[in-house]
Amino acid sequence: MKLTLKIWRQKSANDKGNLVDYKVNDVSPDMSFLEMLDVLNQDLIDKNEEPIAFDHDCREGICGMCSMYINGRAHGPDRSITVCQLHMRSFKDGDTIYIEPWRAKAFPVIKDLIVDRSAFDRIQQAGGFISVNTSGNTQDANATLISKYAADTAMDAATCIGCGACVATCKNSSAMLFVGAKVSQYALLPQGQIEAAERVRNMVAQMDLEGFGNCTNTGACEVECPKGISLENIARMNRELMKANIN
């Protein structure tokens, strides 16, 4: 396949940046999208040009690093995948593909397609944990009985990889699917109950402080989430915050 790529190039956080056109030839439909970029980068290196900076780590859909907005959608055209799981067979010979970094004030671009997602880390640090003794005498988790429903629903929420596709695709740059998943993960389990009120208050306060927008329930995040995190997690977070303020 022959493709035209329109890729966002930005030298640094302070640089203005712009879209640059690249031609790639001999793209195999079996390549992953990241492998296609590897080929392009090798070509740029051979020509003594600056390769395109993009985040990637596991290349098996669990690290959530590949923050690329491809042809107008987070992680490209297919559902429930990250960019490493997107294959070139999803495109046609002669296609023009737009590749842009996540866009949100809270996710500033560091370089090219790499964005700073440390806002998510700070939200986690504000309450996305349980305080347990880790000195080696931790109680066996299986000693506390949990319903199958609670275990499964908490696990579904815990599959969030913090990739930021929810923020990138949201017209309001809202982080509520991410925060909803993290709040739910603990709210559903008995171990998370003790700090539940404090947790949701602190995480939502940090989310607001980071400058994410407000959810208007468009549901775009749920569609684009590579892990299929449900909007019900946002509803649960809303309930948790109301509960925390009433008690």
Partner 1 sequence: MSGFFKSSIGRKVSMALSAFFLMFFLIIHLAVNITSIFSEAVFNEMSHFMGTNPLVQFALQPVLIFGVVFHFVMGFVLEIRNKKAQGIAYAKNNGAANSTWMSRNMIYSGLVILAFIGLHFIDFWFPEINYKYIAGNPEEPTRYFHELQEKFVPIWRVAAYVLSFILLGLHLAHGFTSAFQSMGITAGRKKTLKTIGIAYSIIIPLGFIIVALFHHLNHH
Span of 86-94, 116-124, 146-154, 214-222 interacting with partner 1 by CB under 8 A = 214-222
Determine which helix (DSSP H) or strand (DSSP E) holds 5, and give its type and residue range: strand 3-9
Assign 110 to helix, strand or coil. strand
247 binds partner 1 per the rule CB under 8 A: no
**CB-count burial class (<10 Å; 0-12, 13-18, 19+) for 65:** buried
Query: Which amino acid, 206?
Result: Q
Q: What are phi and psi of 5, to 5 degrees?
A: -110, 135
**Residue indicated by tokens 């306060």:** 205
CA torsion through residues 108, 112, 113, 114, sign:
negative
Q: In the window 110-169, what residues touch partner 1 (CB under 8 A)? A: 169
82 binds partner 1 per the rule CB under 8 A: no
237 binds partner 1 per the rule CB under 8 A: yes
Residue from the set 12, 80, 193, 217 that interacts with partner 1 by CB under 8 A: 217
Residue from the set 5, 36, 106, 189 that interacts with partner 1 by CB under 8 A: 106
Q: In the window 15-54, what residues touch partner 1 (CB under 8 A)? A: 19
Binding site for partner 1 (CB under 8 A): 6, 8, 19, 69, 71-73, 77, 98, 100, 102-109, 169, 171-174, 176, 204-205, 207-208, 211-220, 223-224, 231-232, 234-239, 241-242, 245
